[in-house]
Structure 1
């Protein structure tokens, strides 16, 4: 690997960092991305390959000895929202010269999962990997555990910090509390740190955390390796992605188990489809999906329970489902997703892994997709009841298996580019895929325009329009302003340079 592409930890004292922020709030410019287009050579692989991807080295310096106190976060959301919160917390702790307490995960009425950090990620690996960047401890010291953090003014909620705030806001608003009380508790911490004004050396910590420090626990790695081997119908895995996902915890299967499949020419490649069509997504979108008055009542009842603020807003405002669809704000149905794949040339023999929880509408809603693609499976189809038992009733642990299957897929197809799973998996494939991990992202607004002509457009015209969208939206470029580093790691402090990683937009 070229020396110019290696990580070099740039630790700065907090005072110097504050001066840097106040002196220049501009985001760093990307000097490495060349923006060359990626061309589809087939529906399975790309012509261009990534020229180089960084393998992060351990930091070269210890964290600053002067410590302002402890940062504690209680992250809300599901697995992927919490993953983002963890890595953002690492950055904030480094920014404020603080010790990070191992993050806690809040219970969600939507996800209904009591899992904590150590149930999903390897605690010791995380602490040791980041030790040269930020101090991390597993709990607050005894003299702070007994404090009522809210009463002393040390609790900071999402109402107190701007969404995607600049580092200077944390220095201005949070640092004085930390220095006075010795501890700050971030409650929620959903997307509280922005992307464009973060100095390169702190952006680097995000990537070290997300792409290297967070390893799933051995139980998830083992189950994930079983899942992927059975999907591939091969027992040997040697890719960089495999090493990152499974480490030394891959369960080796007997090659004889797949002999019959290989003799019959069975599929060894698969497409992973993140079908973001769960009830929460459908309800929040304010769209309609052909279910009439019964569907409207059902989704409104769900909003009243899970999204009360949104439900209250709807009492005083009218939202047009038709306008929502024309603006590209409606999640794709299974049928709409299947039509895109078919138009792109994936035929009925394609082996498809469907990620996600319960599809809204159940089996009847999935039927059009399964008719197009009979080789459609989920983790419940691939793993046995006993193999899934340790993760049953833990939505975050089940989501981790989906993350693994999607990251390992030959092609990853997304139906909602805004979802955290899709965002994180896409970025993971860019970073570790070495140019051989294409991802298909939807442009729902453009697709809605095509579907609006369904009464007057023949299949040939539809297929041509969909493929034209691929041609128009397949360019690879450095991270655009405002885009998540977790989704687009081609940025200073994260990836060196990419000639093309196989990620395309359509």
Structure 2
């Protein structure tokens, strides 16, 4: 959602359009995402109740000098013929200035059917890149009730001391989608396969779980996470916030992690049922609470490189490269398998390898990764690191008083 919204802000600027606040799509997997419309400058972009998740007034006012944003399509345009367009993925300035802008000759409203990855990560003008930064990290804040609840959760976590936010993607939907069943019973594996087979828009049905795992495509299990944290040197009294939905199998799969790290907390443990009641039936609002607590943590550790993990990593980079440990799942599972087979011992032997493996995977400043060598066409753009995973140096500007030293700071 965040990335799509911010890209549409930039696209509206590029094609000189007025942006219509998006409606959140009730039919999506989340049961609340977004679609867009654009109105030509005197034209528009479309989105359900944006204010359920984000602070709509602040979003509009913060970007007023960059893009005109309106809450609804004007009544006099409600009946006009709209151009419904699937914008080409990872497109640059020429595509929008030429192909998309040419639609204004025949239409006053363009509806963007999708907003994910519609804009290139690189090779865009500095002002467009900086606008994406302003939109994502300054203008796009959560609704007041979400922000207030998020702050309360952060304060309660910090009362235990500096904490780790663990994005534990060991949830039924993720395991079913990825086909990862390592450590599960036959009955559990069968249940996940049935979910995958019954979900029409998941195209791949037959998945070799062990092959997936060996390639690093599976989220780490709670037991593997326990081994990772121990090897990285985190003591047993480390407070850990579980940023996730319901963990598949519950306590049956959380036992080892809970034994080693008893201070496992979640929004459900930190807040009362009454405090969470207004958010419980809204998946994106619950995810927003996890997002806030994750961004504010001393350390963030995602067990899978999904959309939320990437968004949080990028936000933490923007705030000063706060520590984010991104596990090397492909190499970690090899080490864990050696431990299981008795060919490697936990303690110093495992810790030495794990620490060495993650020295350069902790969110330190680095250039955004370009395309993978040898890739061509759309695969080339797809292989680039997302702008929202590593928004720097595009989001940096030099301080006037520090030009001689080259000191930079994030755009405010």
Seen in structure 2, the aligned counterparts of structure 1 residues 213 and 109 have a Cα distance that, compared at 3 Å, is closer
Seen in structure 2, the aligned counterparts of structure 1 residues 214 and 499 have a Cα distance that, compared at 3 Å, is closer
Q: What TM-score results when the alignment is normalised by the length of structure 1? A: 0.69
| Cα distance in 1 between the residues matched to 2:318 and 2:107 | 39
| Residue-by-residue CA offset, 1:316-336 (whole Å, 9 max, x unaligned) | xx6432222121111111111
Q: 1:306-345 residue pairs with structure 2 within 5 A? A: 306-310=199-203, 313-314=204-205, 319-345=207-233
Partner in structure 2 of residue 105 of structure 1: 24
Seen in structure 2, the aligned counterparts of structure 1 residues 427 and 473 have a Cα distance that, compared at 3 Å, is closer
How far did residue 291 of structure 1 move? 2.6
Partner in structure 2 of residue 451 of structure 1: 336
Q: Give 2:367's match in structure 1, choosing from 475, 478, 496.
A: 478
Residue 430 in structure 1 maps to residue 339 in structure 2: no
Partner in structure 2 of residue 177 of structure 1: 103
How far did residue 385 of structure 1 move? 1.5
Q: Give 2:278's match in structure 1, choosing from 390, 397, 411.
A: 390
RMSD: 2.3
How far did residue 148 of structure 1 move? 5.2
Q: What TM-score results when the alignment is normalised by the length of structure 2? A: 0.84
| Cα distance in 2 between the residues matched to 1:366 and 1:168 | 51
Q: Give 1:155's match in structure 2, choosing from 81, 84, 93.
A: 84
Partner in structure 2 of residue 207 of structure 1: 133
Task: Provide structure 2 residue ranges, at least 5 long, that are not aligned to the other structure.
Answer: 34-47, 371-383, 399-405
| Cα distance in 1 between the residues matched to 2:112 and 2:220 | 34
The list of structure 1 runs, each at least 4 consecutive aligned residues, that deviate by more than 6 angstroms after superposition, is 497-501
Partner in structure 1 of residue 255 of structure 2: 367
Whether the aligned pair in 2 keeps the contact of 1:130 and 1:213 (CA below 8 Å) is yes
Worse overlay, 320-329 or 207-216:
320-329
Seen in structure 2, the aligned counterparts of structure 1 residues 319 and 485 have a Cα distance that, compared at 3 Å, is same
| Residue-by-residue CA offset, 1:124-170 (whole Å, 9 max, x unaligned) | 11111111111111111112212453xxxx1113xxx3332233223
Q: Give 2:10's match in structure 1, choosing from 87, 91, 97.
A: 91
Worse overlay, 346-355 or 283-292:
283-292
Q: Give 1:296's match in structure 2, choosing from 153, 165, 189.
A: 189
Task: Provide structure 1 residue ranges, at least 5 long, that are not aligned to the other structure.
Answer: 1-81, 234-266, 502-506
Q: Secondary structure at the match of 2:113?
A: strand
| Cα distance in 2 between the residues matched to 1:500 and 1:336 | 37
| Cα distance in 1 between the residues matched to 2:286 and 2:408 | 34
How far did residue 351 of structure 1 move? 0.8
Partner in structure 1 of residue 378 of structure 2: none
How far did residue 478 of structure 1 move? 2.0
Q: Secondary structure at the match of 2:338?
A: coil
Partner in structure 2 of residue 349 of structure 1: 237
Whether the aligned pair in 2 keeps the contact of 1:414 and 1:442 (CA below 8 Å) is yes
| Cα distance in 2 between the residues matched to 1:117 and 1:168 | 30
Residue 468 in structure 1 maps to residue 356 in structure 2: yes
Partner in structure 2 of residue 122 of structure 1: 55
Residue 277 in structure 1 maps to residue 166 in structure 2: no
